[in-house]
Amino acid sequence: MKKIAVLGCGTVGSGVVEVFYKNRSSIQKKSGCDMDIKYIYLRRAHPELLTQYPDLHLEEKFCFDFDTIANDPEINIVVEVMGGIDPAYHFVKTCLQKGKSVATANKELIANKGAELLSIAKQNHVNILFEASVGGGIPIIRPLHQCLGANEIDDIQGILNGTTNFILTKMIRENMNFADALSLAQKLGYAEADPTADVEGLDACRKICILASLAYGKQINPQWVSCEGISKITAEDVEYAKDWGGVIKLIGKATRDEQTQKIAMMVAPMFVPQESQLSTVDDVFNGILVTGDATGEVLFYGKGAGKLPTASAVMSDVIDCAKATDTIDTLYWEDGDGSELADLSLLPSRFYLRFQMQYSQQLSWLEHSFCHAEFLARKNQPQTEAALVTDSMTPEHLDLLLQSAKKEGITLLSKIVVL
């Protein structure tokens, strides 16, 4: 019999327990062995769990001492759903060193420590699996290293955070401003009381780093990646995007240059054209578009978070851990130093720009300076406001133009990359 320990029993952890006991028979059949949860590690008492699952007698499984789990030879598989790096990093590392496989949903841990933990797992002939770390219940990690394994991955771009996508959807469909849409997301439980990790792009950045590390074989840490959130997006920007023929989405993007093999990465709100499959991914749904040299574009779509979808992904990893006789060697990347990343200031892009002019005659200066730009319009547009989408240019060149505009007394209100 395979014995499991669950580290953490919050939203996802309680979902793992629920899914395991609800579907235990089929899980055991797919694993090829009998299984049970022996320990549920808690840092504090959770009496509500006892009333939530009265028939499971969870009090007999509660454990408040991690060393008990680490030193128990009966524990074969550890589920880590605590989140964060401390103490999760120490716990996971210790379990791997003691020959226990780990299934985790911890995106921050994998994005920052993935190469090291994968190496330790390999040394000890066990596995660390993390399907639930990106996309919740959407299968994406396993397809990347198995189903798409014969491909060179040219590009990954995705809506990787359901909270920000819900907020932007409300701004697009119902003309809400950012603050009201965020407040609604918090009321509905989609956003935390402190929404910083979501709205400032940190969560999406961790996820695109995991996908890029797996696709390109080198650890890419989030702190190396340009990251911008949606807190500065206005209702006016949304209107101009509609006039242009698209929508605004928070996009995580990783693209490998064919010639230099450098990887261009960023997380930022972007103008997404209606022709893109990502433009129709709304509300709390995620969409991840992967382009392989053999397959072309493949879209992965579904709810990117939630108790049961994420727990489902964790349990699929538990099944794989139970079936594996050694380390799954296709799930691996090496340590990196950031030298694989391209300098974004030198890479051409198109940009949406919104300006505040002191007087309407300054529009002619903008039309002359951005002579190949597409100028946009919105309802009740003030005469002293101008919006445009540039032709392709480097951020370095754009900065020079914006400095000139500032000298002319023209104020930049918004700048958004075009996907």
Q: Hey, what's the torsion of the CAs at 196, 197, 199, 205, to 10 degrees?
A: 150
Distance separating alpha carbons of residues 384 and 364, to the nearest angstrom: 12
Of 170, 207, 218, 415, the active-site residue reads 207
Cα(124)–Cα(92) distance, integer angstroms: 13
Cβ contacts of 251 within 8 Å, gap of 6 or more? 157, 158, 159, 267, 268, 269, 270, 272, 278, 419
Amino acid of residue 147: C
Q: Are 247 and 170 in contact (CB under 8 A)?
A: no
Minimal CA–CA distance to 221: which of 197, 199, 203, 205? 205
Positive or negative, the Cα torsion across 296, 302, 307, 311? Answer: negative
| DSSP assigned state of 144 | I
- The token pair at 149 is 């394994």
Closest CA to 21 of 42, 4, 46: 4
What's the start-to-end Cα distance of the chain, in Å? 50
Is 22 an annotated catalytic residue?
no
- Return the active site residues: 207
